[in-house]
Amino acid sequence: MSSGHMMPCALRWRLSVLVGGAALFATALWAEPPDPLGAVGRYQLPTPTPSTDTSPQTFVMNGQTYVIPRNYIVSLAKDDDGTAAAISMRAVLPDFSGLTKETMRCGVGYRDPCSAEVVVIGLTSGPFLTSGSQQLRNIKPISHPDQREGPCSLQYYESHGSTDQGGTVFQFFFTKMPNQSDISVLRCPKPGSSGASRCNSYDDVGDGNSFYYNFERNKLCQWGPIRSKSLALIRSFKGRE
C-alpha cells in the first residue's frame, strides 16, 4: 500500500481547527477532504488504494500500536518520524467487515448506490481537544437560534444559508450517548444540499488518539450504534496479531 507524508499546511490546518473556536464547525472553513466518500479527516491523505488483502498491517501512532487487516485500509499519512499520522478505513454494514471483491466498488466512491452501506472511519494521531459542549457553542453563531427536532427525536441546529441553486446547509445534531459524560455532535447536510449526503463526527479513542467517522444520512437513526461499533472496531485492532 502506498503511503505519504502529511503536508505541513495540513498540520497547520489541524491545529487551527483544534484551537480555532468557531472555525471548527463554520461551513466556510470545513475543509473538503481528499477521501472519495467524503471523510473529514484533519490530514491530507494520499490517493486511496483499497485492497481485498486480509493480511495484518502494523502501525504505531502516538505511541500506540494498531494491527489492522489490509482490507480495511484505504489510505495512510505518516509523520516525519515514520509513524502513522492518519489512517483512513472502510467498514461495510451491517457487520463492519473489511472490503471484499463483492464490496470493493462500494468503498472507493459515493456514486455507486452500495456506498450507502459503507462507514468511513479515520484514525488520527493525538486527542480531539474540542469537547462536545464546546462544539455546540461554536455552532450557535453560524446557525439559526432555534433548537429543532429531527428524525428519531434528535435535536439539532441548522446553519444559515439556502439549498437553492446548489447551496449547502448543514444540520448539527447532538445527543448524549450511553455512558458518556459529554454530548456528541454530528454534522449532516440538509436534504437538498449539494454534495454527498453523508454525516460526520469526531471523537476520542481513549488511548491518546482520536477518530472521525461518516456515514450516509439515511442512517441517521443508527448514529449511536455506528459510533459505538466504529470505536469498538478501532479498539479491536489494538494488540491483535
3-state DSSP assignment of residue 86: strand
User: What is the greatest pairwise CA distance in the chain?
Assistant: 52
Flag whether 158 is in a domain. Answer: yes
Q: How far apart are CA 169 and CA 158, in angstroms?
A: 7
Q: What is the pLDDT of residue 239?
A: 72
Q: What is the pLDDT of residue 44?
A: 52
Start-to-end Cα distance in the chain: 19
Q: How far apart are CA 21 and CA 56, in angstroms?
A: 38
Q: What is the pLDDT of residue 65?
A: 97
Flag whether 241 is in a domain. Answer: no
Flag whether 37 is in a domain. Answer: yes
How many Cβ atoms from other residues are within 10 Å of residue 73's Cβ?
23
How many Cβ atoms from other residues are within 10 Å of residue 194's Cβ?
12
Flag whether 80 is in a domain. Answer: yes
Whose cell is 453523508? That residue is 198
Residue of 36, 186, 197 lying closest to 116 (CA atoms):
197
Flag whether 222 is in a domain. Answer: yes
Number of domains within the chain: 1
Provide the domain limits for residue 58: 4-236
> Per-residue DSSP letters for 96-155?
TB---TTTGGGGS-SSSGGGGGEEEEEEESS---S-HHHHHHHHGGGB-SS-EE-GGG-E
Flag whether 122 is in a domain. Answer: yes
Q: Quick one: cell of 51?
A: 485492497
Flag whether 172 is in a domain. Answer: yes
Q: What is the pLDDT of residue 111?
A: 75
Q: What is the pLDDT of residue 11?
A: 38
pLDDT tens-place values along the chain, 241 residues long? 544 433 333 333 343 333 332 333 333 333 334 454 444 444 455 667 889 999 999 999 999 999 999 999 998 888 999 999 999 999 999 999 999 999 998 887 767 889 899 999 999 999 998 999 999 999 999 999 999 999 999 999 999 999 988 899 999 999 999 888 899 999 999 999 987 789 999 999 999 999 999 999 999 999 999 999 999 999 999 975 4
